[in-house]
Amino acid sequence: MWDYQTLMAAYEVARRLKIVRFAGVVSAGKEARVYRAIGKGGVEYAVKIYLTATAEFRKSIYKYIMGDPRFEGVDLSNTKKLFFAWARKEYRNLRRMYDACVSVPRPYLVYQNIIVMEFIGEGGRRAPLLKEVYEELDEEELMDVYRQVVENVKRIYCCARLVHADLSEYNIMYLHGKVYIIDVAQAVDLNHPLAEQFLAHDIGNIHRFFAEEAGLEIPGPEEILRQVTSCEDVQCECRVESRQAEAQ
């Protein structure tokens, strides 16, 4: 059940985006739930609502918020203020990635503890996570997925100037041959004191999954890291314009 503040916030979000109804939970975690919502004309949204802050959650996000100016002056002991700030952080990260043409859900709105983004899925069901579907793909398809993931990490780093900081097969969606990066709240700016450490961890996860679980012959972590950080053959500014035109 939503508390009164969340219920009023959901009403305001529905008013702004002309949402007709909420169509059920598509993902549920300890701190947040993602709902599918239907707007006028059948537009589908993913509505992420932060609800509960556990002690484990506070501890886990501490390393991502220390050194982030967006959290300066925020009372992290106050659950409501923490979630408002964390939701804004996720929305801004998502917006920066989207504007850099990273394959992420299109962001629409952040309001208090609620983020609204594009719904990735079909038939009322969310797209599967890479972890859930990779065994159904052949080697050629998996290699294409690997290349897409590396290209998106490169765009996150070179164009959005961020590091995802928690990338794994559990926060990559796959639909009709295309990957989508999700769950970007913890992403940090390249100026964050732990940015290099987080990037190395992301690259390690990519190599572990595709080399060890999927069984692909791919470059080692050091070479993948070099490919990402070299920013070779990456054009950022012209593609931002294409995204802005798309949104109009």
Which of the residues are catalytic?
166, 183
Which stretch of DSSP H or E encloses residue 205?
Answer: helix 195-207
Q: How many CB atoms lie within 10 A of CB 5?
A: 11
Task: Report d(CA 208, CA 168) in Å as an integer.
Answer: 9
Q: Is the distance from CB of 166 to CB of 102 less than 8 angstroms?
A: no
The C-alpha R_g of the chain, in whole angstroms, comes to 18
Bridge partners for 114 per DSSP: 49, 111
End-to-end CA distance of the chain: 36
Residue whose token pair is 């940015």 = 195
User: DSSP class of residue 211?
Assistant: I
Q: 235 — phi, psi (to 5°)? A: -110, 115
Give DSSP secondary structure letters for 11-47: HHHHHHHTEEEEEEEEEE-SSEEEEEEEEGGG-EEEE
Report how far residue 236's alpha carbon sits from residue 248's, in angstroms, rounded to the nearest whole number.
19
Q: What does the chain come to in residues?
A: 248
DSSP codes, 48-72: EEE----HHHHHHHHHHHTT-GGGT
